[in-house]
Chains A and B, each alone.
Chain A
Amino acid sequence: MLLAIVPRFALAPGDPRDVNSNLRRLSRVDWLFVTVAVASAGLLATVLGAAAMLSVPVGVLRGVLIAGLAYAATYGGLRAVGRNPLDAVLAAGGLLVIGISVMGAVNTLVAGTYTPREWARFTVAGLTQGSIYALIALGYTLVYGILRMINFAHGEVFTGGAMSAYFLADALHRTGFLAAHPFVSIAGLIALAAGVSMAIAVLLERIAYRPLRGAPRLVPLITAIGASFFLQYTYRGLFGTGIKTYKDVPALGGSIQLGPLAVGRGDALVITAAMTLMALLYTFVQRTRVGMAMRAVSEDKQAAALMGIDVDRVIVTTFAIGGALAGAAGVLYALVFRQTQFFMGFVPGLKAFTAAVLGGIGNIPGAMVGGLFLGIVESVAPFLILDGLDLPSPNQLKDAIAFTMLVLVLIFRPTGILGERVTKRA
């Protein structure tokens, strides 16, 4: 299996043996969206400018905004009526949500609750979180691209890496090696976690998914849900219910000054490591024979088999790569957030799936873009939008924002930001 992952020959760019790249051009954006967004932004700017000059009370401002929203919703609805009443309802609902968000953002910015430095901090935190989501999302997207199934248990593959590396981290900490050679240690942790997660992912494929190839689509999904709970409670049984806290790595304390921006060393490490891994993966998929085989299988399984590609082996390789990336993500997550527990992978798994859908599922650059985007939205939006709506403790609702975004994307642009795959499959 390991042999399958080692690239044999690198293909030069433009090599005729290379099938079309999966990276697709940014496609046409929904014009309705653009029109309404530009129009409402212009309208808002005018209204706000005027209001600031005339020092209109906030209440009146909100009244105007709500009227504008109602107008936008009706307009969108009527535009869509020509097609289908359902589209009208959806468009109205979606525009309402977007409009409320814009209103919240405007309120926050007008009130000036947070300084630019704070916004920068939220963004960096979002990038860190987002690069972890992106690494996990790659596993979803690779598997979906090839098998058209959601590996619901992928979040648990991530947990497996993070929890197994904890024991090595603990041992290294006790011997003092972690403090002495932090980066060697971290590389070791990532390697161990990647190995464990890879093994879990490959076993999962072998035991639970392979016998179900060709079964109706709900069957593997339900199996995956079962596998997810099985793995979660296996970790609970094996490692106990307690929280296992990664020890402090002194080298990751403090921050680096990038111009006016202070980036924590831990954040910098996570972002760099994730970017490196993603670049490696992209090169692997685009430039090697195995990567080419993966793309071929994802385009057409039968044709690939006829061309002499061992489809089963490619699928195992895909699971292995996805698992390894999830394991690496597990260690990076644990280095930043410290705490590991048996169910830690569930919510990041869901979020990463959201990220994969956001970017266009089945599309590798899409997963990266989607992950980063989701991470930033999740860390900025509670303060930007919810704060402006006067909701108490906005951070409690950040998961709700992620899921709302998933719903909006699936309604308005089910192919995601970069994807062009048709999602309608019974």
Chain B
Amino acid sequence: MRMTAVLRAGLHHGLIAGGIVAFVALVGMVDAFARIGVIDGAVDLSQVVWLGAVGLVGASAARATTARGREAPSPRAASLASGLAGVVAGVAVAALIALGSAIDLNVVFEKARPALFARLTLGNAWGTVAACAAAGLAGGLVAALPTRVRGAIAAGLASVLILGIAKDLMTKIDVVKRIDWVGDLNAMLYGRGGLTVGGAAAIMAVAMLWRWVAPPARAAFQARLRGLPAKEQSTARRTLRVLGLTALVLLVAWFPLGFGRLPAEVADLVGIYILMGLGLNIVVGFAGLLDLGYVAFFAIGAYVTGILTSTNANVPVQIGWSFWEAVPIAVALAVLAGIVLGVPVLKTHGDYLAIITLGFGEIIRILAISDWLKPLMGGAQGVTLIPKPLEVGAVAVPAIGRVDPNIQQELFYVIVAACLIALYVAWRLRDSRYGRAWMALREDEDVAQAMGIDLVTTKLLAFATGAGFAGLAGALFAAKIGSIYPSSFGLLVSINVLVLIIVGGMGSIPGVFVGALALVGLPELLRELDDFRLLIYGAVLVWMMLKRPEGLWPAAVVRRELAHGRRSDGAP
């Protein structure tokens, strides 16, 4: 690697890093994240974010200097490029601070206040430059380490970060309050503003050790398993699977009662999004029909349930059914809507389909909020007083004691059951004739038709199944929050679901679970993130499409294509 190329990589990445830090600061992330401690009294999330960004760009600068044919860059080139990148980034940040103190940027940029610049100034301008240089250099050096060491360090840092910002949750959940030794452990790990220094070090050590030891151990175990005779091997694998599944079932059953109300509420939401994700995955992931109006069916499910069950005397037609009577009707109407809205878009493709379905979603919302349908759907006031689906008294929970579950905890089981049904349907459909037909449709509509696939039935079935799942999710949502308003059914719901299946991997069923946990679960744990949720979603969508279009947990087909070295798009 020539010297000039190394320096150019450093300069280029440094400017990018400076831009990222300026963006993160002016957009308000630094201010908001400064309230979240990671390590008590030492590190808060804002520093992790902006110095971490410099570190990551430093690592990328170092990687850019990798000589052809090598796996890792040489330490000298890596440290030079990343160090330079860090210094350039630091100078850029210092320049922003200087600019902010010279003229009043606040006139245009709402977040550009002295407090923000004070946060970026570590001691003085030289402190900022030094910190950025150190962060960049550290990133570069880590990038130059062997893969196994790098993995261990990454795992350690990630564990500290996640456990640090999850402090509020970790100290509030029922397990911690009710089981003594968990409480004691918790008290040891956490201080007032995040982890204690000792706690962080301990977590870091444990995570690094785990990441260091676990993969070789797993490989050794797999090798031993493969060494067994065929029959014993299959028995052993089955036993392992049964054990794993039992543990998972027990954990899921224990979760809402053991962890308490807040985690149960989050889990309910995650479950509702998993349901919708499974449905949209059929439409978008299997059949390749990009539906941006998916929220319409969610809204239909919720409103039908609400109207049929509401006990509010203001509703002109008071039906007052129970939740269980209303659910089949809600699902059936959603399926019907899926077919009715599916017919007009049968002849459109790709982007046109996306825009029309988006239009449908908006029309449903506009109708729900309009004065015209107010007598039925309540207009902006929505439908209120939706009864709970079930009422359970106090129950004894192992290791916790007696718990009197609230609606969020009770509903969890209903939602899990619904998810299991949906999972089974989606999984069986994927490998059925229709599943194959959908995938053929996704790959090439004309060829599929030529092979004898009936486009009308196949497409309508995809829309109808997807709509049914969303209708069920909507019914559960109505029961969960007890009153529904048109504002809950905006385009953002469709986008959320779309993002989660793309992040998980289009067409991949486990991907839906991964995506829902990552995109719905995580933000709920971190309320401060809420303002930036869609900013991050947007960036994630673009980034995924550019760098990892197959998703976090790609579908088998896509993975196979990758393994064969073909250009994989991960998308229809």
Task: Check A219 against B571 for contact (C-beta < 8 Å).
Answer: yes
Task: Check A229 against B288 for contact (C-beta < 8 Å).
Answer: no
Task: Check A219 against B545 for contact (C-beta < 8 Å).
Answer: yes
Task: Check B542 against A403 for contact (C-beta < 8 Å).
Answer: no
A423 contacts which of B23, B111, B346, B349 (Cβ < 8 Å)?
Answer: B349
List of B residues within 8 angstroms of A218 by Cβ: 288, 290, 350, 571-572
List of A residues within 8 angstroms of B370 by Cβ: 391, 393, 396-397
From A181-189, A233-241, A331-339, the one touching the partner chain is: A233-241
B321 within 8 A of A: no
List of B residues within 8 angstroms of A232 by Cβ: 534, 538
Task: Check B355 against A350 for contact (C-beta < 8 Å).
Answer: yes
Query: How far is B110's CA from A228's CA once the two chains are assembled, in angstroms?
Result: 21
List of B residues within 8 angstroms of A226 by Cβ: 499, 537-542, 544-545
List of B residues within 8 angstroms of A50 by Cβ: none
Q: Which of B21-77 contact A (CB under 8 A)?
A: 23, 26-29
Report the minimum CB–CB distance from B143 to chain A (whole Å). 22
Report the minimum CB–CB distance from B547 to chain A (whole Å). 9
Query: How far is B535's CA from A354's CA once the two chains are assembled, in angstroms?
Result: 26
Task: Check A406 against B359 for contact (C-beta < 8 Å).
Answer: yes
B295 within 8 A of A: no
Q: Which of A225-252 contact B (CB under 8 A)?
A: 225-234, 236-240
List of A residues within 8 angstroms of B354 by Cβ: 150, 221
Query: How far is B544's CA from A211's CA once the two chains are assembled, in angstroms?
Result: 12
List of A residues within 8 angstroms of B541 by Cβ: 222-223, 225-227, 229-230
Least CB separation from A168: chain B residue: B108
From B198-206, B360-368, B429-437, the one touching the partner chain is: B360-368
Task: Check B372 against A397 for contact (C-beta < 8 Å).
Answer: yes
Report the minimum CB–CB distance from A89 to chain B (whole Å). 6
Least CB separation from B366: chain A residue: A400
Task: Give the A interface residue count (CB, 8 A).
Answer: 57
B424 within 8 A of A: no
B243 within 8 A of A: no
A392 within 8 A of B: yes
Task: Check A238 against B110 for contact (C-beta < 8 Å).
Answer: yes
Task: Check A217 against B351 for contact (C-beta < 8 Å).
Answer: yes
List of A residues within 8 angstroms of B540 by Cβ: 226
Chain B interface helix/strand/loop/mixed: helix
Q: Please judge, given known A-B contacts A167-B108, A238-B27, A396-B369, whether A406 and B355 are in contact too, CB under 8 Å.
A: yes
Interface string of A188-223 (1 = CB under 8 A from B): 000000000000000000011001100111111111
A89 contacts which of B288, B343, B345, B362 (Cβ < 8 Å)?
Answer: B343
B107 within 8 A of A: yes
B325 within 8 A of A: no
Query: How far is B343's CA from A93's CA once the two chains are assembled, in angstroms?
Result: 10
B348 within 8 A of A: yes
Task: Check B359 against A90 for contact (C-beta < 8 Å).
Answer: no
A411 within 8 A of B: yes
Q: Please judge, given known A-B contacts A238-B109, A400-B366, whether A150 and B351 are in contact too, CB under 8 Å.
A: yes
Least CB separation from A207: chain B residue: B542
Task: Check B542 against A223 for contact (C-beta < 8 Å).
Answer: yes
A158 within 8 A of B: no
A357 within 8 A of B: yes
Query: How far is B292's CA from A222's CA once the two chains are assembled, in angstroms?
Result: 10
Task: Check A93 against B344 for contact (C-beta < 8 Å).
Answer: yes
Report the minimum CB–CB distance from B373 to chain A (whole Å). 10
Query: How far is B379's CA from A61's CA once the two chains are assembled, in angstroms?
Result: 31
Task: Check B110 against A240 for contact (C-beta < 8 Å).
Answer: yes
List of A residues within 8 angstroms of B352 by Cβ: 357, 410, 414, 423
Interface string of B479-517 (1 = CB under 8 A from A): 000000000000000010011001000000000000000
- B27, B360, B372, B544: residue with the most chain A Cβ atoms closer than 10 Å: B372
Task: Check A229 against B356 for contact (C-beta < 8 Å).
Answer: no
Task: Check A426 against B571 for contact (C-beta < 8 Å).
Answer: no
List of B residues within 8 angstroms of A403 by Cβ: 359-360, 362-363
B456 within 8 A of A: yes
Query: How far is B346's CA from A414's CA once the two chains are assembled, in angstroms?
Result: 13
A407 within 8 A of B: yes
Task: Check B542 against A208 for contact (C-beta < 8 Å).
Answer: yes
Query: How far is B108's CA from A423's CA once the two chains are assembled, in angstroms?
Result: 43
A353 within 8 A of B: yes
Least CB separation from B363: chain A residue: A400
B569 contacts which of A86, A90, A215, A229 (Cβ < 8 Å)?
Answer: A215
List of A residues within 8 angstroms of B224 by Cβ: none
List of B residues within 8 angstroms of A212 by Cβ: 545-546
Query: How far is B23's CA from A215's CA once the two chains are assembled, in angstroms?
Result: 29
Task: Check A237 against B359 for contact (C-beta < 8 Å).
Answer: no
A302 within 8 A of B: no
Query: How far is B486's CA from A172's CA once the two chains are assembled, in angstroms?
Result: 40
Interface string of B249-266 (1 = CB under 8 A from A): 000000000000000000
Query: How far is B345's CA from A424's CA once the two chains are assembled, in angstroms?
Result: 12
List of B residues within 8 angstroms of A391 by Cβ: 370, 372
Least CB separation from B108: chain A residue: A167
List of A residues within 8 angstroms of B372 by Cβ: 391-393, 396-397
Q: Please judge, given known A-B contacts A219-B549, A426-B350, whether A230 and B539 are in contact too, CB under 8 Å.
A: yes
B221 within 8 A of A: no
Task: Check B569 against A216 for contact (C-beta < 8 Å).
Answer: yes
Q: Please judge, given known A-B contacts A219-B545, A229-B541, A406-B356, whether A392 and B107 are in contact too, CB under 8 Å.
A: no
Query: How far is B352's CA from A407's CA once the two chains are assembled, in angstroms?
Result: 10
Query: How far is B349's CA from A357's CA once the two chains are assembled, in angstroms?
Result: 14
B446 within 8 A of A: yes
Task: Check B26 against A404 for contact (C-beta < 8 Å).
Answer: no
Query: How far is B459's CA from A174's CA once the two chains are assembled, in angstroms?
Result: 59
List of A residues within 8 angstroms of B109 by Cβ: 238-239
List of B residues within 8 angstroms of A118 by Cβ: none
Task: Check A150 against B355 for contact (C-beta < 8 Å).
Answer: yes
Report the minimum CB–CB distance from B566 to chain A (whole Å). 13
Q: Please judge, given known A-B contacts A167-B107, A237-B28, A396-B369, whether A216 and B571 are in contact too, CB under 8 Å.
A: yes
- A90, A410, A423: residue with the most chain B Cβ atoms closer than 10 Å: A410
Report the minimum CB–CB distance from B428 to chain A (whole Å). 26
Interface string of A384-426 (1 = CB under 8 A from B): 0000000111001101100110110011001000000001111
Report the minimum CB–CB distance from B170 to chain A (whole Å). 29
A36 within 8 A of B: no
B461 within 8 A of A: no
List of A residues within 8 angstroms of B345 by Cβ: 407
List of B residues within 8 angstroms of A211 by Cβ: 546
B444 within 8 A of A: yes
B571 contacts which of A222, A228, A238, A393 (Cβ < 8 Å)?
Answer: A222
List of B residues within 8 angstroms of A400 by Cβ: 362-363, 366-367
List of A residues within 8 angstroms of B456 by Cβ: 86
Query: How far is B353's CA from A411's CA once the two chains are assembled, in angstroms?
Result: 11
List of A residues within 8 angstroms of B544 by Cβ: 226
Interface string of B289-307 (1 = CB under 8 A from A): 0101000000000000000
A residues adjacent to B (C-beta < 8 A): 86, 89-90, 93, 149-150, 167, 207-208, 211-212, 215-223, 225-234, 236-240, 350, 353-354, 357, 391-393, 396-397, 399-400, 403-404, 406-407, 410-411, 414, 423-426
Given contacts A93-B344, A208-B546, A357-B352, 19 further A-B contacts (CB under 8 A): A167-B107, A216-B569, A223-B542, A225-B292, A226-B539, A230-B539, A230-B541, A233-B538, A236-B535, A237-B532, A238-B108, A238-B111, A350-B355, A350-B359, A350-B362, A410-B356, A414-B348, A423-B348, A424-B349
